[in-house]
Amino acid sequence: MFWTGFASPGGKLRQALRSWGAVVVTASSLAAGAGIAPVAWARPPAPAAVAGEVALTALPPQAQTTYRLILNGGPFPYEKDGSVFGNRERLLPARARGYYREYTVKTPRARNRGARRIVCGGQRPTQPDTCYYSDDHYARFRTITP
């Protein structure tokens, strides 16, 4: 590819910059000059987003209704209810794709689905291993205790 040479450490861009008299500085050369050992870069751990537990009876009435619908297999008021929750932000414990499913908790006076959700995990949607409640559109979760 055209850009491959530019991206490589000894690529064409570096050669062009040197021929123009530019100084090419890399992070490793800066670290070496400062006497700092190279660092192995790794993906940072996921933030802790499961903030404790919440009793089912302490949830809003709409969340309790949604929870009962989950255990009964529906019918759900929103088309996306029961769809796979990807956990892309890695806020819940890591599981295989398809383990988590999301459900909308109705928000009074909201014109759309609102921000409240229940996410349940397990192989059988009507018998979840665990469920989580989020009232801020997945920014943090609390484990639901029945």
Residues involved in catalysis: 102, 137
DSSP code per residue over 52-87: EEEEGGGS-HHHHHHHHHHHHT---SSTTTTEEP--
- In angstroms, the CA 56 to CA 142 distance is 11
Q: Residue 99 carries which DSSP code?
A: S
Q: 99 to each of 18, 58, 87, 120, how far by Cα in Å?
A: 53, 26, 10, 8
HSE-CB of 39 using CA atoms within 13 angstroms: 8
Provide the pairing of β-strand 141-145 with 100-104.
unpaired
Residue type present at position 50: V
